[in-house]
Amino acid sequence: MGKGLVQGTTALMRFIVQRDRLRLPLWLLSFVAVSCIIAFAFTGLYQNDAERQAMAETMRNPAMTAMVGPGYGLDNYTIGAMLSHEMLLMTAVVVGLMNILLLSRHTRADEEDGRLEMIRSLPVGRLSNLLSVLLVLFGVNALLAVLTAISLMALNIESIDAEGSFVYGFALGSAGMVFAAIAAVFAQLSQSSRGTVGFSITALLLAYMIRAIGDLSGGTLSLFSPLGWILRTEAYVNNYWWPIFLTAGAALALSSIALYLNSVRDLGSGFLPVRTGRPHASKGLANPFGLAFRLQRTGLIAWAAGLLLIGASYGSVLGDMESFFEDIDLMQQLIVQQSGFSITEQFIPVLMSVMAILGTIPVLMAVLKVKGEETNGRLEHILSKAVSKNRLLGAYVLLAVLVSFVILGLAGLGLGGVGTAVIKEDLQLGMFLEAAMAYAPAAWVMLGIAVLLLGWAPRFTGFMWLYIAFSFIVIYFGGLFQFPDWVQKLTPFGYIAKVPIEDVDYGVLAALTAAAAVLLIIGFMGFNRRDISQS
Amino acid sequence: MAVLKTSGLRKTFGDFKALDGVDIEVEAGEVFGFIGPNGSGKSTTLRVLLGILQATEGKAEIFGLDAWEDAVEIHKRVAYVPGEVNLWPNLTGGEVIDLFIKLRGGKPDGKREELIRRFDLDPRKKCRAYSKGNRQKVALIAALCMDADLYILDEPTSGLDPLMERVFQDYVMEVKAQGKSVLLSSHILSEVEKICDKVAIIRQGKIIETGTLKELRHLTGTIVQVETKLPIAGLREMKGVSGVTAEDGVVSFQADTEELDAVMRHISGFGITRMDSSPPTLEELFIRHYEKADQPGGVD
């Protein structure tokens, strides 16, 4: 490297750490905290061997293998085995995501916005930026590994020993490294930060899917996925180190490829062709509704698919509910005790309310997009055309209402479609759909409040996310914390009947719908009266 | 009848007076220049005219209709280019142009392709890849390919190169020839000078001068450069003379129109060897107005 290719690398590393002095500690802290909280929660949830073995039994099914990986240590399902079996893969996916986002932010995003050009005009080597980002991220991953290991050991849980904790931590760290390196390669290939993140996340999902298919079909295919490798560490059970070295080695190899590609390309260029778009608008993009849909299409499709999947995966475990709950006292407190109904039947409304609250998030996002469009100065384009404020806001409200139908329908379909196949009880798919759709009026009340805020206090639309979080806590943990009844009535979701234990109360649904309509009308009035803020 | 008229327009944001009495009037077939520095209230005025902001006081009318109440009706015949053009990063320029045309409810008059060619825009690119100038082109093309009666353009050329500026000016002239009106805010004074019939100067939310360029020049007087055999004495003290500077024996100053005769008589006593006079440029007018206003007892 005699020609100063890497000059200034240490200074750039310091600069990256300085720029992310809040971001990095927050990421690290969240990972360590989540791992520790889960491990600690397991000790509370499963207090003896019998309870843990009951859990192990529910893990012996293909859906679980596909989701969290092949079972190991199921015959002696200690807290440690439980933690690494149920949490390692999911945590590794999020660690991978963090690495992808951070890498793109400091490479392609800086390059795209011209910041890298300023750096490169200084006496700094051509490879210095990429190298410094990779070194910082490798350091972050190593730190994550060590912090996770030490914090888990500090919990002083019998089965969570030192070696297992370090294997667990470094399995996460090496997974992070490999996805940082994968993103580094895509940052050279693609010409935009969106492309870099998009391709890298696709690679992450592919790694997950290849592993899922591999684990279901005997394991060979899993060896083609870095996520498959790290699961072979079997932390707290067998503590294999070779997958960690393999993963870290792959990360170094990919990093070298990225550095090579970086050295042979021009600043601002990529290797993949830039796709051009349509020169003309399609027929659908001809009115405010078409625009509202087009802007959010990708996100909404992802939410719809996500809710369908969540519904289906909840559905797949409905059959094991009885055995799962039999031995675990704490879990039984989560659901309302009602004689004459099976545990499965009593658990369905809990799942449904969780999915309904989750499904209300895209409904709110669809309408609160108005606020983002306003602050970015793009509402002005629409309102300076022959479009009234009612028509503009109406388009977003209509989209949100349609989203509520589709999302709730898909959640019910997923839960019922898979659930009816695996349960002993005689429950029809129609019942699941009815139970899901009963939540639509509650979602509309949330929508109404969002529009009210948009109309009268646009600065406070963020309140909706707090309200959603509050609703979730009250509804989901209501049974556990023994909240009084009136607390549940503070959220519209608390008024919905618990199908199939209770019957749908159409009077309540009509009242909620009417309340939503009134909120919407008042919101529209405010929106018509107020100024559109300046960008 | 005026196409666009505001009277006593006021707009406050909390305690801040953004507009403090704006009166402008644009006639049919007129190109009206609206000039003032950043933050003086140009964009706020245009936004009130478009019904995006509601006036606190006063009237804003377009085609005799109220800018706030009848916004949709008015917008069917208005084309607008905002000062800061933010577009949707995931739509292409071509898609945005088509969307804007459809939202106005009109039909494009076939100029779309011609405009895209003359402004040299690639309509297949996503808006996130466009520079500021290219985003402005998208908004300009969408505005100019509409058959509108009034074009409201907020600093439309601030991101364009000189060649594209020329293309833009050609189109404004074409629109004007068809008897349509243009309200153009700008701080590129040479451009305003070239294409505008009337000018209004705004300062801290108030219109401080308005009229044709000729009228404004008459008000302010003439720039004189003169060389004399003997040094000119007593010039600075004369009524109606301002901005006196001397360099290499050349004296330049500005003389008010009413006093021009007396000033010239005075100077001729010193033996004129060379003389130049010119009307002030808009820039000089503008700076003079601002300097005057900044002095105690000025416009404020």
Residue ranges of chain A with pLDDT lower than 50?
1
Asked if B176 contacts B170 with a C-beta cutoff of 8 angstroms, the reply is: no
DSSP structural state of residue A192: S
Least confident of A143-157, B43-57, B172-186, B283-297: B283-297
Least confident of A161-170, A292-301, B15-24, B244-253: B244-253
Mean per-residue pLDDT of chain A: 91
Which residues have a Cβ under 8 Å from the Cβ of A471 and sit 6 or more positions away? A357, A491, A492, A493, A494
Work out the average pLDDT over B93-99.
94
Which amino acid would we find at residue B116? I
Asked if B130 contacts B89 with a C-beta cutoff of 8 angstroms, the reply is: no
Above 90 in pLDDT, residue B147? no
**A459 in reach of chain B (CB within 8 A):** no
C-alpha–C-alpha distance, residues A79 and A512, integer Å: 45
Q: Rounded to a whole number, what is the distance in Å from the CA of A302 to chain B's nearest CA? A: 17
Q: Rounded to a whole number, what is the distance in Å from the CA of B68 to chain A's nearest CA? A: 10
Above 50 in pLDDT, residue B299? no
For residue B296, cis peptide bond before it (omega within 30 degrees of 0): no
Which positions 249-288 of A are in contact with B (Cβ < 8 Å)? 276-282, 285-288
**B125 in reach of chain A (CB within 8 A):** yes
Supply the pLDDT for residue A337.
60
Determine phi and psi for B240, rounding to 5 degrees.
80, 5
Supply the pLDDT for residue A484.
82
Chain B residues closer than 8 Å to A383 by CB: 50-52, 71
**3-state DSSP call for residue A105?**
helix
Chain A residues closer than 8 Å to B76 by CB: 386
Chain A residues closer than 8 Å to B100 by CB: 381, 385
Supply the pLDDT for residue A325.
67
C-alpha–C-alpha distance, residues A371 and A362, integer Å: 15
Please count the residue pairs, one from chain A and one from chain B, whose beta carbons lie less than 8 angstroms apart.
107
Q: Rounded to a whole number, what is the distance in Å from the CA of A2 to chain B's nearest CA? A: 36
Chain A residues closer than 8 Å to B91 by CB: 277, 285, 294
Binned at pLDDT 50, 70 and 90, residue B298 comes out as very low
C-alpha–C-alpha distance, residues A276 and A169, integer Å: 43
Segment B65-84, tens digit of pLDDT: 999 999 999 999 999 999 88
- Nearest residue, CB atoms, A281 vs list B78, B98, B104: B98
Residue among B77, B84, B99, B125 with most chain A CBs within 10 A, to mutate: B99
- Nearest residue, CB atoms, A380 vs list B73, B82, B123: B82
Which amino acid would we find at residue A503? D
**A198 in reach of chain B (CB within 8 A):** no
Chain B residues closer than 8 Å to A531 by CB: 52-54
- Nearest residue, CB atoms, B72 vs list A276, A295, A386: A386
pTM of the model: 0.79
Q: Rounded to a whole number, what is the distance in Å from the CA of B188 to chain A's nearest CA? A: 22
Share of chain B above pLDDT 70, in %: 95
| Count of Cβ atoms closer than 10 Å to residue A423 Cβ | 19
Above 60 in pLDDT, residue B297? no
**B198 in reach of chain A (CB within 8 A):** no
